[in-house]
Amino acid sequence: MSDQSTAGVSRRTFAKASAAVASAAILSSKSGVAATNGETIKVGLLGCGGRGTGAAINCLEGNTNVKLVAMADILDYQLADSLKKISGHGNKQVSSQCDVSPEMQFVGVESYKEILKTDVDIIIHATTPYIRPLHIEAIVEAGKHIFTEKPSAVDPVGIRRFIAAAKKAEKKGLCIVTGTQRRHQKSYVDTMKKLQDGAIGDILSGQAYWNGTLPFMRERKPGMSDLEDRLKNWYAHCWVMGDNIVEQHIHNLDIMNWAMGGPPKKVYASGGRVWKHLTKNPERYGDLWDHFSCDYEYDNGVHVTSMCRHWARECTQRVAENVVGTKGSSTCRDMGKDDRNPYVQEHMDLLAAVRGEAPYINEGVRCAESTMTAIMGRMSAYTGMELTWEEALNSDLSIVPEVLSFDMKYPVGEVPNPGPKNV
Ligand SMILES: NC(=O)c1ccc[n+]([C@@H]2O[C@H](COP(=O)([O-])OP(=O)(O)OC[C@H]3O[C@@H](n4cnc5c(N)ncnc54)[C@H](O)[C@@H]3O)[C@@H](O)[C@H]2O)c1
């Protein structure tokens, strides 16, 4: 179910059709859909945290004739902090291309609606994942090109919504680049090409790892509402970020899907929470597990072993991918050399496509499929059940609260327990 197969056409026809749609959009730039070569491209940042700030900087350092002109965040201090970092950046190319007036700064739950009323050409979307499908749908509706961070969603209902929006973007000629930056990293790109050309023969199996430590745990500050706390201490709550298999391990699973030519057919997974319940402050660690291991089955019976965990620093850490073929093996990046920061390259690639200097680009469905690969692993592990791709993708599982409000309670979820219920 790669981009080509979901579009139901061959790769070549798909590329041609998409390029035609894209040039139509570029020609109609007066509508604000896209900018031609000579125009300054206006960028808006939605979600002004660590990565959003980084992504905006990467966009400005990699491109000229581009300006950051609008910003939006649910929390005012996040926006203020981010603007300070970008406008005061040491690289003059970054700071001089940042021009966000007070009227172009939007704060609150509805801030996404406000930034979409402006005349920006591109939205950089870097909120925490839970709200991504709703926002991406609105951004496409508003006719903006998109850079969006991964993961695309946290549940199958969100994934279907994200996929529908990405397909609509294609119809409207709107480009989408996703934050799976390995896809823009030369060592991976060159190695993948060689693997597809048969460098290690037929691929027989794969291994993917994100074995590290918990990225952070933030104590609740006095006076914080439930919502503010959940959004600040987001590495504790499944509805905000999907658990670590979805938020981090997606990068490695995306490489496996790339090597295998599409997402898996089945998964059989397991995992748990070995240390968090031993801590003095269980509420601060929310409902997430701290390890998963999955056996994914792809076409032709090829299996991928996947592992991710948040364990102590002293444990052997590994963030890596590997494939084994009939004639050898590869780390998926050992047959190429990096030339540029992929976090910058992805914004150069997006702008080149928006300007019509490169073919139309839309990575939306592909990123959603890699996110779904991770979600399906989580679903299998949390329930203890083997799952097919169709069962997982078509599930009604929806874990994001319907209403966002600083006045509401957001109780901590129960830690999933797939074991016997009555012991
Ligand atoms: N590609 C990568 O290597 C990479 C690296 C780090 C993070 N990320 C991704 O970037 C995203 C953000 O991560 P981060 O580390 O910057 O988190 P963060 O908490 O620092 O930033 C998230 C921002 O989104 C804002 N936000 C949350 N809900 C919102 C809403 N409804 N409307 C508007 N703003 C909202 C928060 O207030 C915050 O400022 C995550 O999806 C993460 O997975 C990707």
In 243-377, which ranges are E strands? 266-272, 291-297, 303-310, 318-325, 328-330
Rounded Cα–Cα distance for residues 71 and 123 (Å): 9
Average pLDDT over residues 261-283: 91
Would you state the pLDDT for residue 421?
66
Categorize the per-residue pLDDT at 420 as very low, low, confident or very high, splitting at 50, 70 and 90: low
218-236 in b/e form (b: 16+ CB < 10 A) is eebeeebebbebbbbbbbb
Pocket of ligand 1 (CB under 6 A): 47-52, 72-75, 78, 111-112, 126-129, 131, 149-150, 179, 181, 231, 234, 247
Ligand 1 atom closest to residue 247's alpha carbon, by position in its atom list: 43
pLDDT 10s digits, 334-370: 999 999 999 999 999 999 999 999 999 999 999 999 9
Question: How many C-beta atoms lie closer than 10 Å to residue 146's C-beta?
Answer: 25
Q: Name the helix (H) or strand (E) containing 72.
A: strand 66-73
Counting residues of the chain whose pLDDT is more than 70, the rounded percentage is: 90
Task: Give Cα separations from 412 to 171, 222, 286 (angstroms).
Answer: 40, 18, 6
Q: Is residue 9 pLDDT above 90, yes or no?
A: no
Tokens 């496409």 appear where?
140
Would you state the pLDDT for residue 280?
78
Ligand 1 atom closest to residue 51's alpha carbon, by position in its atom list: 16
Q: Which amino acid is at 218?
A: R
pTM over 0.85: yes
In this structure, CATH architecture of domain 3-183+343-363: 3-Layer(aba) Sandwich (3.40)
Contacts of 187 (CB under 8 A, 6+ apart): 333, 334, 335, 336, 337, 338
Ligand 1 atom closest to residue 179's alpha carbon, by position in its atom list: 1
User: Which sequence spans correspond to the domains of the chain?
Assistant: 3-183+343-363, 189-336+371-393
pLDDT 10s digits, 277-292: 788 787 799 999 999 9
Categorize the per-residue pLDDT at 411 as very low, low, confident or very high, splitting at 50, 70 and 90: very high
189-336+371-393 has which fold?
Dihydrodipicolinate Reductase; domain 2 (3.30.360)
The DSSP bridge pattern shows strands 105-107 and 66-73 to be parallel
Q: Is residue 87 pLDDT above 90, yes or no?
A: yes
Enter the tokens of residue 273.
Answer: 């929470």
